[in-house]
Structure 1
Amino acid sequence: MCYYTQQNASIEDLKRRFNAELDNEETYLQSDFINGFSHPNIPVILNSSPHLITTDYTWGLLPSWAKDIEFRKNTLNARIESIDEKASFKNITHNRCLIIASAYYEWHWNDEKGKNKDKYQINSQDDEIFTFAGLYSTWTDPVTDEIKNTYTMVTTKANKIMDFVHNHKHRMPIMLKKQDETAWLDQSVKIEDFAFPYEGNLIAFQTK
């Protein structure tokens, strides 16, 4: 699964890449290492506003019926093969977004229990800035009435490179080729059409 990413592009680079404006420069997240379990606000583009890069959504989806905010630690990722069956996701498959990144990280296990493992950084050789397929939702805290906007990253089976790197789960996030981003945002395109490993040019290298 994917819980750690990098988003080190500048605001101006993102504006040019997506031909879009940014909603809030003050909350713009730019970092070489982003931990999904800290529920960061990685910049995303929603299908409801494709010409706007928003920083108002945090990683870890909260479905409208979630009882408390702790639920989101279980929904950083969504398996595309069962997305129409899971209560957390099946009613929001039309709420699609692009999660912006410049790299992501995964660990190769050197033993059965993962006590010894190597960290890999994965980049696209096609696009310096790329996107992951995501779904988004809005949740209201039943106690405080605070509204939180959240998203999840959709995953699929690993391609050849990631099958080696992520040799424990054999999964990878759905990386979208630049030409496929518009199709992902189009809710009339079947979600299962994206249930295939990314076959673009990836490079994976060990890092500290």
Structure 2
Amino acid sequence: MCGRTGLSLQKDKVQCACSYKSKNDNHYIKPEWLPEFNAGKDYVPSYNIAPTDVTPVLVSSSRFRNVVDCDRVLKPMMWGIIPPWHKGDYKSHNLSTNNCRLENIKSSKLYSPILSSGGRCIIVAEGFYEWQTTNKFSKVKQPYYIYAPQKDGAKIDEPDTWHNNFDENTGWEGINLLYMAGLYHIWQNEETIIYSYSVITMESNETLDWLHHRTPAILDSDEQIEAWLDIDNVKPDMALGYLKPIRRLSWHPVSTAVNNSRNKSTDCNKKTLGEDKSKKKTQKTLQSWFVKAEKRKSTDCSDSDPKKSKT
């Protein structure tokens, strides 16, 4: 699953990081930012983005030809699709739409029509958080920050090492972002228009199955990104075929402070010794069990002492 992400770049830097090579020449193009507030909420950079927050999302410009002259645009959208049939307050639909399962999209009453109508998008992030559910010995689920492998010297939790720079001839030379496949929908009532999205998830492979059985559908090649966004030429079934388990990822344990969605501080994605502490705690628990077992064994042996049995 995917329940939290992080993106601390300002709008202009997000545009630079999402730049792509033009089909007409060798220059890099920055996708245009289409501002539109969603129920009064706009994108705010954060190290701890939660559902109902607004984040930048890449979409095809097909639906915005009258206002842009490029292939891709960045649109601020709210995390968690509002069902098309919902009426009234957008917050009251009571459905969990933060994630949509890849296996169920085509049979879903909610997601299938959105896919068929070209509602494909890409959620951009510096990383996402996942809580380990596979450690049976730990009472507290250890959170991890998962992100794309970075260039030499760049550390995901140390922005001073990113050296972000953009040039139209060489493109983006800064932090490597994650691109997660998603679906989006435009919902409106008498008062407002809201763009909202869901992150597509799939079964984890050996890269992350030690952590959790689900993972976001991450696009890690230009070909995948291009195909997922090309809603005019790449049909839905073909687009779904581009979603494959990713193998190249990096991660580290973080503090449980990220558990609180109100905590947006820079500490959220900092590397901690949580993993080592968890292992030590497990080892200590096992050692205690063995010590108790040895004591029981010692007591049993004492009770069976021939000398004691005579008294």
For Structure 1 versus Structure 2, the TM-score category normalised by the shorter chain is: 0.7 to 0.9
Task: State the match for 2:98 in structure 1.
Answer: 76
Secondary structure class of the residue paired with 1:15: helix
Corresponding residue to 1:140 among 183, 188, 199? 188
Report the CA distance between 1:140 and its aligned residue: 2.5
Bigger shift: residues 22-31 or 68-77: 22-31
Distance 1:25 1:178 in 2: 29
Secondary structure class of the residue paired with 2:209: helix
More strand by share: 1
Corresponding residue to 1:92 among 103, 111, 114? 114
Give the residue type in structure 1 aligned to 2:101. Answer: R
1:55-70 equivalent positions in 2, closer than 5 A: 55=76, 57-68=77-88, 69=90, 70=92
How many equivalent residue pairs?
Answer: 198
Contact 2:132–2:142, Cα closer than 8 Å, also in 1: yes
Report the CA distance between 1:24 and its aligned residue: 3.4
Task: State the match for 1:51 in structure 2.
Answer: 72
Identity across matched positions, percent: 28
Distance 1:22 1:84 in 2: 30
1:34-183 equivalent positions in 2, closer than 5 A: 34-36=49-51, 39-47=52-60, 48=62, 49=64, 50-55=71-76, 57-68=77-88, 69=90, 70-71=92-93, 73-93=95-115, 94-109=118-133, 110-111=135-136, 115-125=139-149, 128-141=176-189, 144-166=190-212, 170-179=213-222, 180-183=224-227
Distance 1:66 1:194 in 2: 31
Distance 2:72 2:240 in 1: 25
Inter-CA distance 25–191: structure 2 relative to 1 (3 Å threshold): closer
Kindly provide the CA deviation profile for residues 83-108 of structure 1, in whole angstroms up to 9, marking residues without a partner as x: 01111101011211111100000001
Kindly provide the CA deviation profile for residues 28-54 of structure 1, in whole angstroms up to 9, marking residues without a partner as x: 321111112xx1111012223543212
Task: State the match for 2:15 in structure 1.
Answer: 15
More helix by share: 2
Inter-CA distance 151–85: structure 2 relative to 1 (3 Å threshold): same
For normalisation by structure 1, the TM-score amounts to 0.85
Distance 1:192 1:73 in 2: 24
Unaligned stretches of 5+ in structure 2? 20-29, 65-70, 151-174, 256-311
Inter-CA distance 51–99: structure 2 relative to 1 (3 Å threshold): same
Give the residue type in structure 2 aligned to 1:64. Answer: P
Quote the RMSD (CA, aligned, Å): 2.3
Secondary structure class of the residue paired with 1:91: helix
Report the CA distance between 1:124 and its aligned residue: 0.5
Give the residue type in structure 1 aligned to 2:186. Answer: T
Task: State the match for 2:280 in structure 1.
Answer: none
Task: State the match for 2:242 in structure 1.
Answer: 194
Contact 1:45–1:54, Cα closer than 8 Å, also in 2: yes
Distance 2:101 2:176 in 1: 25
Q: Which one has the largest radius of gyration? A: 2
Give the residue type in structure 2 aligned to 1:61. Answer: I
Give the residue type in structure 2 aligned to 1:124. Answer: A
Inter-CA distance 28–178: structure 2 relative to 1 (3 Å threshold): farther
Contact 2:50–2:79, Cα closer than 8 Å, also in 1: no
Report the CA distance between 1:72 and its aligned residue: 6.3
Distance 2:49 2:221 in 1: 22
